[in-house]
Structure 1
């Protein structure tokens, strides 16, 4: 029987520099899209998948995020107030709160339509052959995304660096390899590179819509995507 992850690292510590004036007085996860904070869009994915344990990291304007999420008794905070540790360092710092085993991670600067993103990952997770499973969309369907794609997929779902698919910010990872990285601050790309070299990083394709909300001009694109999905229900 597969061991299915039931803990989620929610990345909420970023400075949001690409959002410019919108993040001068509030953290990016609290920027609203269609009347709802970005972090609440992310939490809807967690709730829809029935995630039992959620940890959010804090750095920029942490008091606002604590206050906004105070109604969530299932959520704990990983404090990076002194030093923001990026995705890799931040995940490693939060492991005592997340517990043992593989974990979900989810960025908070995107919106989703269609099937639940985390449930899709859980359904595809096979720890016997995978150390990581990333949720992707094709470059052509990556609303709001600028630049090339991130990965290519082979026939078995194994990943290589490429341009065909964009990483959506949702994944399952075995965090064991984080202990071998000496730096305090580092990206999860370091862990992905090890998994790629060993042929144990895989991808799953999201069947619905996705919008990268990393820039102010992406907000109306995200709202249009959500509006279209609501009309189709």
Structure 2
């Protein structure tokens, strides 16, 4: 329904519309344009602009296409999670993504130390990444306490690569630690689901996975962390021949 090339051209507000639609397709199929605007926290005009960028003449055409897609997905229960993941992996061979991965790999290769941080689910992934990099011979550490105080004396961390893992890119502790490490000379690599987040703006390199949230049985939402695992493992494989 939405191609990667189209999504890449969206601005911050339009990205939020895209993520809401793909994460809540059944609900959106019954909404008026005003209701969708309210749920996406944008104006109806922004919705129409978004749809035009996506190749639709108007809201009616979009809803018709969405309902047809839902009918097809009804015979494929995993489509809601598989389709976004397929879109993510389809773009992994694009030159700009490959260039970013190789740039990060070179930074890690030149660094004396790699530090990873994350909270919640991202904390487990940070621990996994630290262990993974250590297996490839890198001096790798994980910050388990995201709110730990900074050293009183100024540190020279110019030989450090700091990986900040955050789904939203708006975690206050993660942002504060990222600012400290960057001000101390470290290179900051953000792995986040929000390319327009505060964390993305701080980082030297951003590895993003603008995939939508999916409704969980509990009524909340969840987001696949498979892209994060992919990024970490891909980096390790690129780094291996360099070490």
Query: TM-score normalized by structure 2?
Result: 0.29
Greater strand percent: which structure? 1
Structure number with the higher helix fraction is 2
Please identify the structure whose Cα radius of gyration is greater: 2
